[in-house]
Structure 1
Amino acid sequence: MARVLMYTTAVCPYCVNAKKLLAQKGVAVEEIRVDSQPQLRQEMMAKSGQRTVPQIWIGEQHVGGFTDLWALDKAGKLDALLAQN
């Protein structure tokens, strides 16, 4: 199972939905909260080029946000991506 890293905040409904979708797939998420540590938001922005949360990585691949993750799932591509090591 691929490592999943997600930058989140506490009150983000998209973050909650992303975590729910991944939990349904049996995936543990390594969560980095950027609301409590502003320097980590800068790190996220440097890595992703995005300001919004969630920002999700599966393995080394930047997936994007929840809508990107959901689109991968609907296209039938998420499971294969998660299965990579």
Structure 2
Amino acid sequence: MTLWKTRSKTASTREEILDHFLTSVHEVILSRPRPATVGDVVKKYIRSANSVNAVSDSPRVTGSTQSLGIISFRELNDIV
């Protein structure tokens, strides 16, 4: 709000006030961190970066000696 108020002091028309408001809102939205997308998670996995929700951290399947982290995509596809 303060950014918009400061900018709107120099405006002389209604359109300029609205333009300053829209610009200020967009700048605030773009400055905020965005949540991770599926693509971001896949990129981190491919690069072997640490992940908050790593598959290897998942609990074991009941009755199985394998961790979910070592099930291959082929086996996972067969399960589904």
TM-score (ref. length: structure 2) = 0.24
Instruction: Report the structure number with the largest CA radius of gyration.
Output: 2
TM-score (norm 1): 0.23
Structure with bigger RCO (C-alpha 8 Å, 6+ apart): 1
Greater share of helix: 2
